[in-house]
Amino acid sequence: MKRIIILLSAVIMTAATLSAQTVPSGLKYKQLKNMYNTREYVKMPSNPYSPGWAGIGSFVVPGLGQMICGEVGRGFSILAGNVAIGVAGNLTARKVLSYVEKDAAGKYVKGSDGQYVVTDEKAFKGWAGALIGLGAVSLGYDIWNICDAVKVAKVKNMYFQDLQGRRSMELDLYPSVHVASTANGAQAVAGMTFALQF
């Protein structure tokens, strides 16, 4: 019995020490991202940010999820990057179309085979390839943006949990009954189960 009391006391003191460790307040995501592993994220009812809503927000408007999580500068820079990709795509599309022949009315001319007539085939293909490449970059950027918004929300929630002292350690002690093999056969043995979560 003494061993159990000593072990229990040691665990409680360790938990108190871990939860007493201070976490500096007012940190931004840039400072927090290397401190937390989002694979260890545990959803709690008191979390201030929803990773799901942050992802949806960034899907609707690039950078909105980051802004919702209090990372306004990061959100605006992501939005600016998305606008820049869009402008580059628009300019590239105009360049592609500049190699398609137009009639006097300004309509694009189709040949006898039903294809648009191209004035410079090599330049047209080069710019069309660039446009496809920009489309792939845009898709990759959008996927990264959504994943980043979810990660920002999780990291900020983990930081909030640390500030509240909720992530340090969880201790459960409850009665249990186990079956033990003895010389007289199997017997039920009552005891206490001690569970510790980090």
- The per-residue pLDDT for 196 is 64
pLDDT-derived band at 11 (thresholds 50, 70, 90) equals very low
- The per-residue pLDDT for 31 is 84
Model confidence at 187: pLDDT above 90: no
- The per-residue pLDDT for 106 is 81
Q: Please write down the long-range contacts of 22-26, taking CB distance under 8 Å and 24 or more positions apart.
A: 23/159, 23/162, 23/163, 25/163
pLDDT-derived band at 171 (thresholds 50, 70, 90) equals low
**In the chain, helix, strand, coil percent, each to 5?**
55, 15, 30
Residues in the chain: 198
Arithmetic mean of pLDDT, 175-196: 75
- The per-residue pLDDT for 4 is 52
Whether the CA torsion 198, 165, 10, 196 is positive or negative: it is negative
Question: Containing H/E element for 180?
Answer: strand 170-182
User: What global pTM score does this model have?
Assistant: 0.67
- The per-residue pLDDT for 17 is 42
Gap between the Cα atoms of 21 and 162, Å rounded: 9
Arithmetic mean of pLDDT, 69-92: 95
**CB-count exposure of residue 49 (10 Å: 0-12, 13-18, 19+):** buried
pLDDT-derived band at 198 (thresholds 50, 70, 90) equals low
Beta bridge partners, 181, equal 186
pLDDT-derived band at 29 (thresholds 50, 70, 90) equals confident
Gap between the Cα atoms of 53 and 149, Å rounded: 9
Arithmetic mean of pLDDT, 13-34: 60
Encoded tokens for 163: 């500030």
Q: What is the mean pLDDT of the chain?
A: 82
Arithmetic mean of pLDDT, 151-159: 92
Residue tagged 């033990």 (tokens): 180
User: Which range is least confidently modeled, 25-29, 86-90, 117-121, 168-172?
Assistant: 168-172
